[in-house]
Amino acid sequence: MPIFKYIALDRSGKKIKSSLEASSIETAKNSLRQTGYTILEIFEPGVMERDIDLPFLGNPTAKDMAIFCRQFLSILRAGVPISQVLTMLHQQTQNKKLSAALQQMQIDIEKGDTLASSMAKHSKIFPTMLVNMVAAGEESGSLDESFRQMEIYFDKAKRTKAAIQKAMAYPMVLIGVMIIVIFVMMTKIIPTFLKSFTEIDIELPAVTLAVMAVSNFFVKWWWLLALLCIAFVAGIIFFRRTNKGMHVFGWLALHIPAVKDFAVRSSCATFCRTLSLLLASGLSLTESLDLVANNMSNIYYKEATQQIASRVSQGWQLHVAIQETGIFPPMVCNLVAIGEESGDIQGMLDKTAEYYDEEVSVATQKLLSLMEPAIMLFLAVFVVIIVLSIFLPMMNMTKAYDSYL
């Protein structure tokens, strides 16, 4: 189905920028109005404006979950019973794992389970945070508000991921092309071109001999290189999932200058946004922090959040506990302190998350501005070496010919 981007105001007057799937623009407008949104702008984006979406089979993505929450909310507000809502969503959900989970949930609901408990049985599909938000909504009678908040959360996660994917697309394509060019030159072009030098009785420069040795290795052992690359990537993926690997990669992310800004700002945005969302659902601060810790991607920020939860449970003020970790920027500590003093910590966390969301975009562009010249510099060095390996022997041949004359 077509995807429509829109700008709208929610029931509280907050501006929302997002997208949704619908059969037509009128269907999209009706869906938004049923959700309670006031539409400011809606349009079907062009090819270059669309979010990158790779249709891998697997667990639902943030986009899938945002659509699920939006559709669940729209149908629920129309007065449809939860079991029928699940049946309708099961029939139209494209992700097979999510569709199967919804079908089983519908059966569990009819047996008397709550929506949250039926969700909890599918922990690989529904994040713990969503389950807890639904449980809080069922208990307080504000289930629709819980789904509205989670729709916003998943939508922001989707847009952040899409922005990063778009930003990284060009460097990744450039690296891929570079690898292909190097492989073709080393296995096809260079051997053919330098073969003539071996047939001439002249002394070859060191750079030419080195390039010939590398080229011969590529030609003879290309399959071994391919296997080593695959083994290396698989090893990195496996190692990263271990406790030691998470600490190694987490440490690197926080100490490599170009990557540090992105890692810190994205972690702060996730921390503030998730904590604000959970506090809004009615969970206690300690319970919310425990869930936030499980949602942090960097292991050092996860451990820091666990320390904050432990200290808050002992009576510490939140901003003091955050400051004592030594890993959060001073701005986070200061803004949280202001929120505690004013009694509006949730609102201050929202503003802090919005600030760091913008900073993540800036950090991403900064990282790319460093990656592209580095890739081009590597290509330039490679080209210079190849040119020297070819032209130096030709210059030697010219000198030998001149001396002969």
Question: What was the pLDDT predicted at 187?
Answer: 81
Into how many domains does the chain fold?
3
CATH of the domain at 339: 1.20.81.30
In the chain, the N- to C-terminal Cα span, in Å, equals 76
Tokens 């080229």, residue located: 215
- Nearest Cα neighbor of 66 from 203, 139, 162, 171 is 162
Q: Provide the pLDDT confidence category of residue 400 given band limits of 50, 70 and 90.
A: low
Could you tell me if 176 and 272 lie in one domain? yes
Q: What is the DSSP letter of 187?
A: I
Question: What was the pLDDT predicted at 46?
Answer: 61
Q: What is the pLDDT of residues 249-274, one digit of tens each?
A: 999 989 887 788 888 988 998 899 88
106 domain residue, yes or no: yes
Q: What is the pLDDT of residues 180-215, one digit of tens each?
A: 888 887 887 778 777 776 666 667 778 878 888 888
48 pLDDT higher than 50 = no
Find how far residue 32's CA is from the centre of its chain. Answer: 26
Tokens 């030998």, residue located: 400
- Map 212-265 to HEC letters: HHHHHHHHHHHHHHHHHHHHHHHHHHHHHHCHHHHHHHHHHHHHCHHHHHHHHH
183 neighbors 381 (Cβ within 8 angstroms): no
Could you tell me if 330 and 197 lie in one domain? yes
Write out the H or E segment, with its range, that includes residue 325: helix 318-325
State the Cα–Cα distance between residues 371 and 368, nearest whole angstrom.
5
State the Cα–Cα distance between residues 335 and 355, nearest whole angstrom.
11
105 neighbors 115 (Cβ within 8 angstroms): yes
Could you tell me if 87 and 148 lie in one domain? yes
Could you tell me if 249 and 287 lie in one domain? yes
Q: Provide the pLDDT confidence category of residue 328 given band limits of 50, 70 and 90.
A: very high
Per-residue burial over 251-277, b if 16 or more Cβ lie within 10 Å, else e, is eebbeeeeeebbbbbbbbbbbbbbbbb
Most confident of 7-21, 296-310, 390-404: 296-310
Could you tell me if 290 and 392 lie in one domain? yes
Could you tell me if 152 and 297 lie in one domain? no
State the Cα–Cα distance between residues 401 and 394, nearest whole angstrom.
10
Could you tell me if 85 and 41 lie in one domain? no
Average pLDDT of the residues in 74-83:
86
Find how far residue 48's CA is from the centre of its chain. Answer: 19
219 pLDDT higher than 90 = no
360 neighbors 266 (Cβ within 8 angstroms): yes
Could you tell me if 154 and 279 lie in one domain? no
Tokens 């989970």, residue located: 101
Domain that holds residue 203: 169-405
Q: What is the pLDDT of residues 134-164, one digit of tens each?
A: 888 888 788 888 888 888 888 877 877 776 7
User: Of 116, 138, 159, at which residue does a domain stop?
Assistant: 159
Contacts of 357 (CB under 8 A, 6+ apart): 156, 160, 269, 273
Question: What was the pLDDT predicted at 53?
Answer: 46
Q: Provide the pLDDT confidence category of residue 21 given band limits of 50, 70 and 90.
A: low
Sheet of 3-9: strands edge to edge?
15-21, 3-9, 38-43
352 pLDDT higher than 60 = yes
State the Cα–Cα distance between residues 93 and 108, nearest whole angstrom.
19
Could you tell me if 335 and 279 lie in one domain? yes
203 neighbors 396 (Cβ within 8 angstroms): yes
280 domain residue, yes or no: yes
Could you tell me if 126 and 190 lie in one domain? no
State the Cα–Cα distance between residues 322 and 306, nearest whole angstrom.
10
Query: What token pair was written down for 400?
Result: 């030998």
Average pLDDT of the residues in 278-286:
83
